[in-house]
Amino acid sequence: MDEQDTVAALGSLGAATLGESGGLPMPPRIRPVWPGAALAAPAYPVGCTPGDNLAVHVAVTRAPAGSVLVVDVGDVPERGYWGEVLTTAALARGLAGLVIDGGVRDVAALERLGFPVFSRTVALPGATKRARGTVGGTVVVAGVPVSTGDWVVGDVDGVVVVPGAGLDRTIADGRARAAAEDEYFAALRSGSTTVELLDLDASLIEGGGWSA
């Protein structure tokens, strides 16, 4: 499967399905910063010194076109590590988006420019640009290890990392899960219940229906 087909497959399955099919979900604090933001792209890991975004600026110049920056900022999330200037630079370099366990700003501009960003928070104070960091390799972002060769999918449900070594298996399992859900939907429309379809033990629940 080439990169374009992989992007299409992961994007169509979505974060929720992939997160149940071998992908590694990020915690709920990592959310889209504007409605409709979505991405499916190879990861480019970035590690920042807390409070500093020099590594992010360098990553924009080194990341392959089509990749998404996945950024760890350490224990100082409340800074605007990313904004309109970096977005403009990233678009010119053909980057696909940003996932950051920290703050961003200029949200209206990010939405206007159509650049998908998933972040921990929105923050006004800026970051310094003089400390050491890393680009490429492996970082841990929001508790999830992310390496070059992994893939990242983000949408309204959140963000999931698909390890590169298990990419084909995750896509296959995701497609199987999606097909099974389609069968559930058809059965539910025909009158079946989730208790029946999932073989749930209703006897564990006390009580009955409403009474007058």
Q: How far apart are CA 60 and CA 56, in angstroms?
A: 6
| 183 is a domain residue | no
| 196 is a domain residue | no
Measured CA to CA in angstroms, residue 79 lies from 31, 75, 94, 176 at distances of 16, 11, 25, 41
- Give me the pLDDT at residue 57, please: 98
- CATH, residue 158: 3.50.30.40
Q: Is the confidence at residue 212, as pLDDT, over 60?
A: no
| 73 is a domain residue | yes
| 96 is a domain residue | yes
Q: How far apart are CA 11 and CA 20, in angstroms?
A: 15
Q: How far apart are CA 109 and CA 53, in angstroms?
A: 19
Cβ atoms < 10 Å from Cβ of 60? 22
Report pLDDT digits (tens) over 27-43: 999 999 999 999 999 99
| 195 is a domain residue | no
How much of the chain, in percent, has pLDDT values that exceed 90?
A: 96
* Phi/psi-derived region of residue 202, left when phi > 0, alpha when psi is between -120 and 50, beta in every other case: alpha
Domain that holds residue 100: 3-170
Q: How many domains does the chain have?
A: 1
Distance of CA 110 to the CA centre of its chain: 16
Predicted structure pTM score:
0.94
Task: Average the pLDDT over 73-89 and give the result.
Answer: 98
| 94 is a domain residue | yes
Report pLDDT digits (tens) over 109-129: 999 999 999 999 999 999 999
Task: Average the pLDDT over 130-156 and give the result.
Answer: 98
- Give me the pLDDT at residue 211, please: 52
- Give me the pLDDT at residue 76, please: 97
| 208 is a domain residue | no
- Give me the pLDDT at residue 71, please: 98
| 155 is a domain residue | yes
Torsion of CA 76, 79, 85, 88, to 10 degrees: 60
Strands (E), 126-166: 133-135, 138-141, 144-147, 151-155, 158-162
